[in-house]
Chain A
Amino acid sequence: MINYPKLYVGGQWVEPTRAELLEVRSPHDQSLVGRAAEATPPDVDRAVRAAREAFDNGPWPRMSAAERARVIARFSELHAARADEIADLTTAENGSARWFTGWTTKALSEQTAAFLRAADSFAWEEDISRATAEGTRTLVRREPVGVVAAVIPWNAPHQSALVKLVPALLAGCTAVLKASPETALSTLLLGELFNEAGLPEGVLSILPADRETSEYLVSHPGVDKIAFTGSTAAGRRIASIAGEQLKRVSLELGGKSAAIVLDDADLDALSEGLKFLSFGNNAENCVAHTRILVHRGRYDETLARLKGMVESLTVGDPADPATFIGPMVREDQQQRVISYIHLGIEEGARLVTGGPEVPEGLAHGYYVRPTLFADVDNSMRIAQEEIFGPVLVVIPFDTDEEAVRIANDSPYGLGGGVWTSDEERGLAIARQVRTGTFSVNGAPHSLEGPFGGYKASGIGREFGPVGLSQYIEYKTVSV
């Protein structure tokens, strides 16, 4: 068992105000993974006070960007050295299959390396005098935005924590990271690594907390910027608080991303690609490709291939390296997915494979069947709403224009892709779909490229230089 009975407040491990620890239990069999401290508002006050003091008077925002980068680079080395342990713990906590947590944890050093490159070439202070009248100079400075409240979900805790903390810290901000109770242990572990890397006192706090305490944090007058990843419903609430208080805010929210299968698609590449793009991380993934738009000319053939792929997915103990899909994170999440499968049947979609029953032999955990619906109309709720589980809908179309129209007929705008043997035709579609990322033939995007959403999928972008710029304020100085 791995226990974190203390909170990480400004670099110190401190007793939580509330004595009762929260229990982290495995969604596979409800066994106890460990116990963790849980923050309440007085702990938030302490953490924000530490961050405020470290920002207003401490060394971190005043040292050079290169000095801060050295601490972050050291952190990244320490993190990589414990990648297997972190992947094991995350899988035990949230049920994400071990192949996925192993792969993403290892990819984090590349993600951080991209931020370090961005910081190295970032124009922290830039002279733009050539554009001004003779005899005057104009400098544009990029200064840290202040105290950041970073609020992250349980589905990929280190990925979503570091895509916020790394650019925030590189910019010179101080931060309070709010962890989900489901992944409290692995998130608190980050405190050990930041201390070992030499992050100065006060700069970072990590607080597992429930929703009420989270709202207390984002509403706190000592916080300058909120960076949130989570549901669109929670994002709307946070944006309204930020609007009232004129706080800076970036939001990574939900999605219902479309994969468009053109009549010249390579179906081998498609089914192998969608295995990862649609079902990676148990499909508890905001950017999962969950609406599959298929050209009528190859509809039956494509359906047969997708059916075979979905039926080949191994469901079971997430710690087993042979498992592709683990359990849903909580019982309510399992029930939510099952209720959407019932809804699809009621709405008249054709159930091709899967269904609402719990998979055989897995009643001890929060398991669901990977499910494929065909003949779906894009206006159905199963095509419009984010399910956050392994349920795909297949929607037919006749022309490229119709495919683009259906893809854009969504409240969300996070990701998507197109499958075609004609790269230019694919790029033409990519340029018309209103989403923050888009892939042609499942190509992975560079970690330097911005990631985020149009419409109800969020505000702002993460990753690389654009992600770094979410944590700065511009200041124009004329002399």
Chain B
Amino acid sequence: MGAPATTAYRANVWATGRLTGVQWPRLHRFHRGCRRIVLGVVEGARLVTGDTRTPERPEGGHHVRPTLFADVESALRIAREEDFGPVLIVIPFDDEDGPVRIANDSKYGLAGGVSPGGCPSTASHRHRRRLRGGAKSSGIGREFGATGLAQYIEYKTIAAIAA
């Protein structure tokens, strides 16, 4: 799925200097979070803030700069794969069904939200919500509260009558 970062594309990125200071063959030395940021740059997303390099901090540690990408398409790997780090992507939409379609176009189905401030038609989106489709890879079962407790029981139905 998505736009693969082909060797030719990588070479082009390298040639245009968008990966200044990064030796592609040495990317494996990066912290995973930094590799994800590099991937975003390679895929052509616009880096609004953040960095592809590990921040140098006197006390050491595995730091990643909080990073924001704009102009992202949901087909990109940075939009489809779980980063598990401080990397956000911003995806624009135009039409009414756009946000729900884009939100549901994922192999995952764990969580999400709507922000009324920036989206005047939020209420209608909620009501026009499409039920999610496809096998979803965020898991099986639920935790918390009564439903979470019910994950640890077996039902037993007993019927009795006096002899």
Contact = CB atoms under 8 A, between A and B. Distances in A.
Given A436-B155, A450-B155, A224 B134 contact: yes
A420 interface: yes
Nearest to B107: A246
B147 interface: yes
A412 interface: no
A248 B142 CA distance: 12
A443 B130 CA distance: 45
A185 B149 CA distance: 43
B163 A441 contact: yes
Interface string B139-163: 1101001010000001111111111
A354 B134 CA distance: 52
Secondary structure of the A contact surface, majority rule: mixed
A427 interface: yes
Contacts of A223: 135
Contacts of B130: 56
A265 B133 CA distance: 54
Given A265-B163, A440-B160, A454 B154 contact: yes
Contacts of B131: 55-56, 61-62, 143-144, 146, 172
B1 to A, nearest CB: 13
B109 to A, nearest CB: 8
A146 B133 contact: yes
A172 B137 CA distance: 21
A269 interface: yes
Nearest to A446: B159
Contacts of B156: 430-431, 435-438
A135 B105 CA distance: 32
A421 B161 CA distance: 10
A360 to B, nearest CB: 37
Given A55-B133, A223-B135, A439 B158 contact: yes
Given A246-B140, A266-B163, A419-B163, A224 B157 contact: no
Interface in B119-136: 130-136
Q: Which of B154, B157, B160, B162 has the most CB of A within 10 A?
A: B157
A298 to B, nearest CB: 14
B160 A441 contact: yes
B135 A221 contact: yes
A246 B157 contact: no
B157 A451 contact: yes
A172 B145 CA distance: 25
Contacts of B140: 246, 248
B159 A461 contact: no
A146 B133 CA distance: 6
A445 B163 contact: no
A441 B161 contact: yes
B49 to A, nearest CB: 29
A246 B160 contact: no
A245 B107 CA distance: 11
Q: Looking at B130, B156, B161, which has the most chain A CB atoms within 10 Å of its CB?
A: B156
A350 interface: no
Contacts of A216: none
A445 B160 CA distance: 8
Given A221-B135, A246-B136, A461 B162 contact: no
Interface string B65-96: 00000000000000000000000000000000
Contacts of B133: 52, 55-56, 146-147, 224
A474 interface: yes
A367 B115 CA distance: 69
Interface string A429-467: 011001111111111111001111010000001000010
Interface centre among B130, B132, B160, B161 (most CB of A within 10 A): B160
Contact of B154 (A62, A436, A438): A436
Contact of B157 (A221, A247, A419, A450): A450
Contacts of B137: 246
A202 interface: no
Contacts of A445: 157-159
> Which residue, of B139, B159, B161, has the highest number of chain A Cβ atoms within 10 A?
B159
Given A61-B131, A223-B135, A246-B137, A427 B160 contact: yes
Interface string A394-434: 00000000000000000000000001110100110011001
Contacts of B145: 128, 131
B131 to A, nearest CB: 5
Given A450-B155, A461-B155, A430 B160 contact: yes
B34 to A, nearest CB: 29
17 contacts: A55-B131, A140-B147, A144-B131, A146-B133, A221-B135, A224-B136, A246-B135, A269-B163, A421-B162, A423-B162, A436-B154, A438-B157, A439-B158, A444-B159, A446-B157, A449-B159, A450-B157
Interface of A: 52, 55-56, 61-62, 128, 131, 140, 143-144, 146-147, 172, 221-224, 245-248, 265-266, 269, 419-421, 423, 426-427, 430-431, 434-446, 449-452, 454, 461, 466, 474
Given A423-B162, A436-B155, A440-B161, 15 more contacts: A52-B133, A128-B145, A265-B163, A266-B163, A421-B163, A427-B158, A431-B156, A431-B158, A436-B157, A437-B157, A439-B159, A439-B160, A443-B159, A445-B157, A450-B155
Interface of B: 130-137, 139-140, 142, 145, 147, 154-163
Task: For the complex of A and B, list the 6 residue pairs with the smallest distance between their C-beta atoms, beginning with the closest.
Answer: A440-B160, A449-B157, A443-B161, A445-B159, A443-B159, A450-B155
